Amino acid sequence: MAALVACHCRQCNQMSSHLLAATSVAETGLTWTREETLTWYQSSDFAERGFCRACGCNISWRLSDADARDTVSLMAGSFDDQSGLRLEQHIFVDHKPGYYEITDGLPQFPDSD
Ligand SMILES: [Zn+2]
Per-residue pLDDT of 32-51, as tens digits, reads 988 899 999 999 999 999 99
Q: Is residue 15 a part of any domain in this protein? A: yes
Q: Is residue 19 a part of any domain in this protein? A: yes
CA 20 to ligand 1 center in whole angstroms: 7
Alpha carbon separation from 51 to 60, 86, 113 (Å, rounded): 7, 22, 24
Q: Is residue 52 a part of any domain in this protein? A: yes
Q: Report d(CA 50, CA 42) in Å as an integer.
A: 9
- Count of domains for the chain: 1
CATH code for position 35: 3.90.1590.10
Q: Edge-to-edge, what's the strand order for the sheet holding 2-7?
A: 38-42, 47-52, 58-63, 71-75, 20-26, 2-7, 85-91
Category of 84 on φ-ψ map: left (φ > 0), alpha (ψ -120 to 50) or beta: alpha
Average pLDDT, the chain: 95
Q: Report d(CA 111, CA 90) in Å as an integer.
A: 9
- The residue ranges of DSSP E strands in 53-96, in sequence order, are 58-63, 71-75, 85-91
pLDDT over 90 (residue 110): yes
How many C-beta atoms lie closer than 10 Å to residue 94's C-beta? 11
pLDDT value of position 55: 93
Q: Is residue 113 a part of any domain in this protein? A: no
Q: What is the pLDDT of residues 61-76, one digit of tens each?
A: 999 999 999 999 999 9
CA 8 to ligand 1 center in whole angstroms: 6
CA 18 to ligand 1 center in whole angstroms: 10
CA 11 to ligand 1 center in whole angstroms: 6
User: Which structural domain, as residue segments, surrounds residue 9?
Assistant: 2-95
pLDDT value of position 34: 84
pLDDT value of position 76: 97
pLDDT value of position 113: 65
CA 83 to ligand 1 center in whole angstroms: 23
